Structure 1
Amino acid sequence: MIITRGLTKRYGRVVAVDDVDLEVREGDRYGFLGPNGSGKTTLVRLLLGLVYATSGEIEVLGSSAPARVLPSIGALVEGPAAYPHLSGRQNLSLLDAAGPGGRRRTRKRRIEDALEQVGLAGVDRRPVRAYSLGMRQRLGLAAALLRQPRLLILDEPTNGLDPRGIREIRDLLITLNEAGTTVFLSSHLLAEVEALCTRVGIVDRGRLVVQDSMDSLRAPTGHVVLETPDAAQVVGILDGQVVTRDGTRLVVRHPDPAELNATLVREGVRVSAIGAERRTLEEVVLNVTGHGSDRVERTP
């Protein structure tokens, strides 16, 4: 669905996107992560043809010219724009009438479906100037869904939404994905990406530093996390296997939680909780990225 090869974007001496080889497969829910200033939004704009690459190649939906396939792409980039004096429905009607692919005969039905999907069906006749930030974000997402796209490219789609709204949008994206829509999501909400996405790309200082499945990134580390009031006893039993101890919590070098649990129970240890250690997505991101930056410079 999306392939880039050596994609680079420079603004003078500032390198916003640096030699990126991106691969988004059909059916992915792809989470795109990185610190502020790492090049995420610039790369999204490159994919949509809003800015031109300095060098490298882009292929979206099999085309090297993103403008040709835009009717098959739904996009929400940064803050959605709308005419404030018009209602949400009127804004969507104007947007749908612009460009190819928006058949007039089915426009009303498509607008109603999009508003229903994002939870705006009951307030769609209010002027947009009366919308909250979360409602504006929902309207932007409705605009992205108008043409029933094969590919959704979303930049911070849950910005301004409350926890219930975030959950509703997540469920909507999963439903759309299961129906055949590929989702490319740029976000700072790591917990949300962890709950939603099947593959992840992480950028740092313009470079793609990680691209892998969520399952691989969060695979067991080979350690076991153990909670017990008998922590001191465990240290004695597992001489040399305890990696860290924090009160009643221990991390133990052992491949099998069930086997370790049986061993400790035989020794009379009271086990409150036990399980394989897995890295969180936050730990993965912090491990491969530096501090956020608004500038990425390369020495000439």
Structure 2
Amino acid sequence: MSESVITTSGLTKRFGRVVAVDHVDLDVPTGVRFGLLGPNGSGKTTLVRMLLGLVHATSGSATVLGEPVPRRAAAVLPQVGALVEGPAAWGHLSGRANLRLLDAAGPGGRRRDRRRRVDEALDRVGLAGIDRRPVKAYSLGMRQRLGIAAALLRAPRLLLLDEPTNGLDPRGIHEMRDLLVALNATGTTVVLSSHLLTEVEALCTRVGIMDAGRLVLADDLASLRAPTGRIRVRTPAPDAALALLDGRVEVRDHDLLTVRGDDPAELNALLVGAGVPVTAIDRERRSLEDVVLDVTGSGNDRFEGQARR
């Protein structure tokens, strides 16, 4: 079992009568890409803010990088890069000037290396050619990239990102995904909160699902997307396949059949051996959307992802 970078026990936050985070027990192992998934208002951002010591818990406890927060936040935060609720910046200054000020305000790091750190962070997020325009003239996507650059200034052990692809176009989303995978490969644990099903499924290796302030599920994505015990077969001769499989077909959608079974190779051999052509065959797996809808009770349209079929 790998060491954990984040642990919480019974972590709860109330705002008056509203319970924003409700007795959350969370464990994030070192080295994962963890997606904290939930609809807007599910408590994701409040939980992240508590992990950063920005909001104090009503009850329960949390540790980050082995230290209790918020009590030891000053020791922890220099090792954490964060982007929460959108990037903050001085709008009248350029992006590069913003990063220099943020770097100067942070603990540690030699002044003579500041230009290199700033340039490397800008290059990593695709803003290497940034000009002297003030940040107030930036697009939302550029602001988002700048916020992530700020989170990368000190080569953090842990990245905590809230909706990191907000405002990015499809190419920018792909580039950000590649960046986070590359950072993770060099040892940085990545934790991101999002309501985008497809982004979490494409990027993360482990997923936690929140609903109404509760953590209702946390598991490896590979385990969540286990085979269903069905095989999908595409054939130009569906009638012949139906007759041969004798009741094993559960769903027919034109030339696509869903068949009870666990071994695609065995099924393919049976069909081809009987003269039924097969153009595609694979195991059916649960999508992350299927999992979310199962554990949150109903299809909540505050999640964004591919439409169910």
Q: TM-score, normalised by structure 2?
A: 0.91
Q: Separation in 2 of the partners of 1:125 and 1:183?
A: 31
The reply on whether 1:269 has 2:269 as its aligned counterpart is: no
Q: Separation in 2 of the partners of 1:216 and 1:269?
A: 33
The reply on whether 1:126 has 2:126 as its aligned counterpart is: no
- Pick from 94, 102, 111: which aligns with 2:101? 94
Q: Shift in Å at residue 164 of structure 1?
A: 1.1
Q: Amino acid of the residue matched to residue 58 of structure 2?
A: T
Q: Separation in 1 of the partners of 2:146 and 2:164?
A: 10
Q: Separation in 2 of the partners of 1:91 and 1:35?
A: 32
Q: Separation in 2 of the partners of 1:251 and 1:279?
A: 13
* Structure with higher RCO (Cα < 8 A, 6+ apart): 1
- Pick from 259, 267, 274: which aligns with 2:266? 259
Q: Cα deviations across residues 62-81 of structure 1 (Å, max 9, x unaligned)?
A: 00024221010000012111
- Pick from 10, 31, 46: which aligns with 1:42? 46
| Residue matched to 1:105 | 112
Check whether the contact 2:96–2:130 (CA below 8 A) recurs between aligned residues: no
Q: Amino acid of the residue matched to residue 35 of structure 1?
A: P
Q: Separation in 2 of the partners of 1:175 and 1:7?
A: 31
Unpaired segments ≥5 residues, structure 1? 294-300
Q: Separation in 1 of the partners of 2:229 and 2:264?
A: 10
The reply on whether 1:247 has 2:254 as its aligned counterpart is: yes
The reply on whether 1:17 has 2:21 as its aligned counterpart is: yes
- Cα RMSD (Å) of the superposition? 1.4
Check whether the contact 2:52–2:69 (CA below 8 A) recurs between aligned residues: no
Q: Cα deviations across residues 227-261 of structure 1 (Å, max 9, x unaligned)?
A: 12322222222223112222221111111001001
| Residue matched to 1:116 | 123
Q: Cα deviations across residues 22-63 of structure 1 (Å, max 9, x unaligned)?
A: 111110100110112111111111111111111111000000
Partner SS, residue 21 of structure 1 = strand
Partner SS, residue 68 of structure 2 = coil
| Residue matched to 2:56 | 52
- Higher deviation after alignment, 118-127 or 231-240: 231-240
Q: Amino acid of the residue matched to residue 194 of structure 1?
A: E
Partner SS, residue 67 of structure 2 = coil
Q: Shift in Å at residue 221 of structure 1?
A: 1.4
Q: Separation in 2 of the partners of 1:131 and 1:158?
A: 16
Check whether the contact 1:36–1:292 (CA below 8 A) recurs between aligned residues: no
Q: Count the aligned residue pairs.
A: 293
Check whether the contact 1:72–1:150 (CA below 8 A) recurs between aligned residues: yes
| Residue matched to 1:150 | 157
Q: Shift in Å at residue 193 of structure 1?
A: 1.6
- Higher deviation after alignment, 256-265 or 281-290: 281-290
Q: Separation in 1 of the partners of 2:276 and 2:170?
A: 40
Q: Separation in 2 of the partners of 1:292 and 1:236?
A: 40
Q: Amino acid of the residue matched to residue 6 of structure 1?
A: G
Q: Amino acid of the residue matched to residue 34 of structure 1?
A: G
Q: TM-score, normalised by structure 1?
A: 0.94
Partner SS, residue 241 of structure 2 = helix
Check whether the contact 1:38–1:292 (CA below 8 A) recurs between aligned residues: no
Check whether the contact 1:37–1:292 (CA below 8 A) recurs between aligned residues: no
- Pick from 218, 221, 229: which aligns with 1:214? 221
Check whether the contact 1:32–1:202 (CA below 8 A) recurs between aligned residues: yes
Q: Shift in Å at residue 124 of structure 1?
A: 4.5
Q: Separation in 1 of the partners of 2:81 and 2:301?
A: 28
Q: Shift in Å at residue 191 of structure 1?
A: 1.9
Q: Cα deviations across residues 159-206 of structure 1 (Å, max 9, x unaligned)?
A: 111111111111111111111100001122222221211111111111
| Residue matched to 2:186 | 179
Q: Shift in Å at residue 285 of structure 1?
A: 1.6
Matches within 5 A, 1:198-209: 198-209=205-216
